[in-house]
Amino acid sequence: MAELTHMIDSEVFLAFSTYATIVVLKMMLMSPMTGYFRITRKAFANQEDTSLASSTGDKKKLVRVDPDVERVRRCHQNDLENIIPFVVIGLLYTLTGPDLSTALLHFRVFVGSRLFHTVAYILPLPQPSRAVTFLIGLVTTSSMASRVLMTALYL
Amino acid sequence: MAELTHMIDSEVFLAFSTYATIVVLKMMLMSPMTGYFRITRKAFANQEDTSLASSTGDKKKLVRVDPDVERVRRCHQNDLENIIPFVVIGLLYTLTGPDLSTALLHFRVFVGSRLFHTVAYILPLPQPSRAVTFLIGLVTTSSMASRVLMTALYL
Amino acid sequence: MAELTHMIDSEVFLAFSTYATIVVLKMMLMSPMTGYFRITRKAFANQEDTSLASSTGDKKKLVRVDPDVERVRRCHQNDLENIIPFVVIGLLYTLTGPDLSTALLHFRVFVGSRLFHTVAYILPLPQPSRAVTFLIGLVTTSSMASRVLMTALYL
């Protein structure tokens, strides 16, 4: 375990672990939020789920699409499409041995942009606020990817 | 490669590799299952895919939504939303050097809950069986995340 | 950091980092491509996004589903369902210490199959071209998974 201990003692790796965990936990929160909206809006995807609502009316009508539920689901999908690439490329980036301050800048900008993206999507805020937060995240991950390719390129 | 050999010799890492591979393979199985339902239900998403069906009738009608296909796709989506976070946080958790027995408990409970989640979704079983399996997985991943943050916190 | 330096010096790990980054960047490109189609086809998912179009007409009509946008989104979803498992299992496979030539074969076949899958999906090419590229990727990832399980099995 000596090597693992050394890896986990690298400050860049500790920072990556912290920010990756925070942003993945944020993504995971979208599932209970979807469930909350499905129950309060009484809009379910499966017939068997309608038993989770307290309604006593016609349960077949509860299998329906609700705009608030769909908004949360699109936000969750956008997280999957952006946070997972950040985690994958961020891990490889961490292993290229970047400066701690440069790495922290990347991690903080990405996680901040995704937190603000969620707020901009759920409220919602007027565009281009959401588009800008999305692009900041994309550019941050691309910047880390370019360092991985410049350091590790082996085709 | 000495360090890699040491890492792969850690029992917690071997266990993580095993359970992560099993649960990712389970997730990957949802793709062929979707294909199977699309062909047997003759319900495709793309016009060009209708050539995969043996039907000789009007192929335009085969581009349609089928409830069984959608159920498998929702199960696949739920896997993406839960299994990927488990793999990411599970890898970081493994690197924090947890006890083997505690780590095995987390990995086994998570993988078991997701296997049962798939059965509960596809059959389907009455609620709250699927909701419970989903929540068990979420709590397991959150428990690993809390250890990562307590061990590695570096903001 | 000595161990990290050794890991990043392993040729298999360098190759994995390169191919994983390339294929994840390809997946990330689907987001701007979706945005491009949404703006040119004037088909948005959110009311607030219609301000991104230059149209002066009734903006409520711009929240609609467009077949070209949906095609790009299905391609993106298929990437998520296949490229993420490749990255996870490919990382564990890399740590099992495979031959460089065998590893390169897996990485190149997978990345090539996914590049061709995107072309086959977006143009689109007649089936079974897309089905074949999808299956090649699935078999490649499964082959790496079988080595991980044979090398690391610990239940």
Chain C residues with CB-CB distance to B3 below 8 A: 3, 6-7
Q: Does B8 touch chain C (CB under 8 A)?
A: yes
What pLDDT digit, counting tens, does each position of A18-33 carry? Answer: 999 999 999 999 999 9
Least CA distance to B151: which residue of chain A?
Answer: A14
**How distant is the Cα of C35 from the closest Cα of chain B, in angstroms?**
20
What pLDDT digit, counting tens, does each position of C64-98 carry? Answer: 999 999 999 999 999 999 999 999 999 999 999 89
Average pLDDT over residues A131-135: 96
How high is the mean pLDDT of chain B? 91
What pLDDT digit, counting tens, does each position of C41-50 carry? Answer: 999 999 998 8
Is the separation of the CB atoms in C78 and C121 below 8 Å?
A: yes
| Residue B7: predicted pLDDT | 59
| Residue B1: predicted pLDDT | 30
| Residue B52: predicted pLDDT | 83
Assess whether pLDDT exceeds 60 at residue A1. no
| Residue B55: predicted pLDDT | 64
Q: Model confidence at C2, in pLDDT bands (50, 70, 90)? A: very low
Pairwise CA distance, residues A20 & A33, whole Å: 20
Angle at CA B70, nearest 5°, toward C121 and C75? 15
Assess whether pLDDT exceeds 60 at residue C1. no
Residues 6+ apart with CB under 8 A from C23: C83, C86, C87, C110, C111, C114
pTM higher than 0.95, yes or no? no
| Record: contact B24-C85, CB cut-off 8 A | yes
| Record: contact A27-B127, CB cut-off 8 A | no
Element at A37 (helix H, strand E): helix A11-40
Q: Does B65 touch chain A (CB under 8 A)?
A: no
Residue from B1, B13, B34 whose CB has the most chain C CBs within 10 Å, to mutate: B1
Q: Residues of chain B whose pLDDT is less than 70?
A: 1-9, 55-56
Pairwise CA distance, residues A126 & A56, whole Å: 38
**Out of C82, C130, C149, closest to residue B18 by CB:** C149
**Out of A3, A126, A154, closest to residue C11 by CB:** A154
Is the separation of the CB atoms in C94 and C13 below 8 Å?
A: yes
Of A140-144, B45-49, B83-87, C101-105, which range is least confident?
B45-49
**Out of C14, C22, C49, closest to residue A127 by CB:** C49
Residue among B86, B103, B101, B98 at smallest CA distance from B142: B86
| Residue B60: predicted pLDDT | 79
What pLDDT digit, counting tens, does each position of A75-96 carry? Answer: 999 999 999 999 999 999 999 9
Looking at the DSSP assignment, which residues form a beta bridge with residue C91?
none
